[in-house]
Structure 1
Amino acid sequence: MLFHSSLRKELSRSFGATLVVLVTIVMTMMLIRTLGLASKGSVNPSEVFLVMTYTVLGYMPTILSLSLFIAIVGTLSRMYRDSEMVIWFSSGRGLADFLEPLFRFAWPVLALIAVMALLGWPWANSQTIGMRTQYERRSDIERVTPGEFRESSGRMRVFFIDKDTPDGATATNVFIWAVERGLQITTSARSGRIEDVGNNRYLMLSNGQRLERPLLPTAGLKISEFETYGTRAGGNAALSGDTTPARAKPTLQLLREPGDASRGELAWRIGMLLAAINFVLLALTVSSVNPRVGRSGNLLFALFAFVVYYNMLNLGQSWISSGRFGMGSFMLLLHGGVLLIGVAWLVLRNNNWGRRRRTEHVIAGGLPSHQPTKIDPTS
Structure 2
Amino acid sequence: MIFERSLQRELAYTAGAVFMVLLTIFLTTLMIRIVGFAASGEVDPKDVVVLIGLQIIGYLAVMLVVTLFVSILFVLTRWYRDSEMVVWLASGVSLVRFIKPIATFSAPIILLVAFFAYVGWPWSNAQSKLIRERFQQRDEVSLLAAGQFRESPASHRVFFIEKMTPDQSRVENVFVTSTENGKVNVVVSNRGHTETMKNGDRFVVLDNGRRYDGEPGKPDFRIMEFERYGVKITSTPVVNQQTTRGMSTPALFRHPNPDKLAEFAWRTGLPLMAINLMLLGIPLAYQNPRRGRTINLVMAVLIFFTYSNLLNIVQSYIEQGKLSFAVGLVGLHIVIAALVVFLFWLRVRNRPLISRAMFTRSQGA
Q: Normalising by structure 1, what TM-score?
A: 0.84
**Does the CA contact (< 8 Å) of 2:157 and 2:178 recur in 1?**
yes
Query: For 2:255, which of 229, 241, 257 is the aligned residue?
Result: 257
| Within-5 A mapping of 1:178-189 | 178-181=177-180, 182-186=183-187, 188=189
> 2:117 corresponds to which letter in structure 1?
A
Identity over aligned pairs, percent: 29
Q: Which residue of 2 aligns with 1:333?
A: 331
Deviation at 1:257, TM superposition (A): 2.5
Residue range with higher mean Cα deviation, 50-59 or 312-321: 312-321
Q: Give unmatched runs, 5+ long, in structure 1.
A: 359-379
Q: Which residue of 2 aligns with 1:67?
A: 67
Deviation at 1:30, TM superposition (A): 0.4
* 1:218 equivalent in alignment to 2:216: no
Separation in 2 of the partners of 1:141 and 1:123?
Answer: 30
Separation in 1 of the partners of 2:36 and 2:204?
Answer: 32
| Within-5 A mapping of 1:1-379 | 1-146=1-146, 148-154=147-153, 156-160=157-161, 162-164=163-165, 166=167, 168=168, 170-172=169-171, 175-181=174-180, 182-186=183-187, 188=189, 190-193=192-195, 203=203, 205=205, 211-214=211-214, 215-223=216-224, 225=226, 229-236=230-237, 238-239=238-239, 242-352=240-350
Separation in 2 of the partners of 1:126 and 1:352?
Answer: 50
Separation in 2 of the partners of 1:297 and 1:156?
Answer: 56
Separation in 2 of the partners of 1:173 and 1:302?
Answer: 58
Deviation at 1:338, TM superposition (A): 0.3
Counterpart of 1:183 in 2: which secondary structure? Answer: strand
Separation in 1 of the partners of 2:75 and 2:66?
Answer: 14
Q: Which has the larger radius of gyration?
A: 1
> 1:145 corresponds to which letter in structure 2?
A
> 1:157 corresponds to which letter in structure 2?
V
Q: Which residue of 2 aligns with 1:361?
A: none
Q: What does the per-residue CA deviation read over 1:4-62, in whole Å, with 9 as the maximum and x for residues that have no partner?
A: 10110111111110001000010011001111111111111122121111111111111
Change (3 A) 1:162 1:92: closer
> 1:76 corresponds to which letter in structure 2?
L
Q: Which residue of 2 aligns with 1:374?
A: none
> 1:255 corresponds to which letter in structure 2?
F
> 2:42 corresponds to which letter in structure 1?
S
Separation in 1 of the partners of 2:178 and 2:34?
Answer: 30
Counterpart of 1:247 in 2: which secondary structure? Answer: helix
**Does the CA contact (< 8 Å) of 1:152 and 1:159 recur in 2?**
no
**Does the CA contact (< 8 Å) of 1:38 and 1:48 recur in 2?**
yes
**Does the CA contact (< 8 Å) of 2:22 and 2:63 recur in 1?**
yes
Q: Normalising by structure 2, what TM-score?
A: 0.87
Change (3 A) 1:190 1:85: closer
Task: Report how many residues are paired.
Answer: 349
Residue range with higher mean Cα deviation, 316-325 or 280-289: 316-325
- Indicate the RMSD between aligned Cα atoms, in angstroms: 2.6
